[in-house]
Structure 1
Amino acid sequence: MVKVVVLLMLIVPTIYNFIVQRNNKIRVKKNSDLGFILAIFASITSIFWYRLDRSLMGFLILLSAILLVYTIGFLPGLGKDGIGVFMGYSPILKFISFDQIKDINVAENYNDIELRINAFGDTYKQVYEMKDKEQVIKLLNENRLIKGDIDVR
């Protein structure tokens, strides 16, 4: 019974994150550090499952935990109606509509576009690939979120 509850606690936020992600037109840049951390996490949890459990329910819990971590790291993004962000203190992605955003700063780094989004009293940081620059700027301009020029570092 406990395994069923744990499985549900992992599957429900994962499904919710996939639902929020459907609104995205542009996803955040895949960070190689985060991919490495996900691989280490998958390896360690697989070892724990193999050593301690080896049941089908345990394997489903293992897969759902890895998938949840994947959705947190790689599914936030920018959509036509708003931005999906990882809140940091919750395993679910938060969809912030453009009218809920207080301020947004766009900074251009060497190969990235960095957004700093101020909403709900918090600041969220997202990094997008340079190839998506035109789409990002277009979406933000359509919603009147860019004030002035882009900061080039």
Structure 2
Amino acid sequence: MRVHIVAVGRLRTGPERDLIDDYATRFDRTGRALGLGPLNIHEVEDKKGGGMAAEAALLERALPDGAVRVALDERGKLMTSPEFADQLGGWRDQGRGDVAFIIGGADGIDPSLRASVDAKLSFGKMVWPHMLARVMLAEQLYRAASILAGSPYHRV
């Protein structure tokens, strides 16, 4: 199952990009034997300043057809890392070809797009900058693959 992070904004060179690249490489290496990956990152930018609706249209175009759509949203479901791993493994076991995690811009995800997703995931009640949300998601994807592989990376 291919995994996608579809996000508003371009991540420049720097420590966040380095972390994402590192976790993506780890995820791809660990996930390959589990039928997970590769991890693809799709960045969209609304250069015309059309707001959330314009961002939603760009995000929609970047989403793979038939993908499980998961919005990162502070109103979403809180999950433990093992629960997240089980969910990811469950989608894979159902034969889903793609899962896409959607990260909105500064104002979040347009309500129309948020209403169309299959699941909403929260990293807590706090709002996180999209750069850090991407890093945290990339790490959790690697952690999920490690849990599913029985690796000692995740400790309870």
* Structure 2 length-normalised TM: 0.27
| Structure of larger gyration radius | 1
Which of the pair is proportionally richer in strand? 1
* Structure 1 length-normalised TM: 0.27
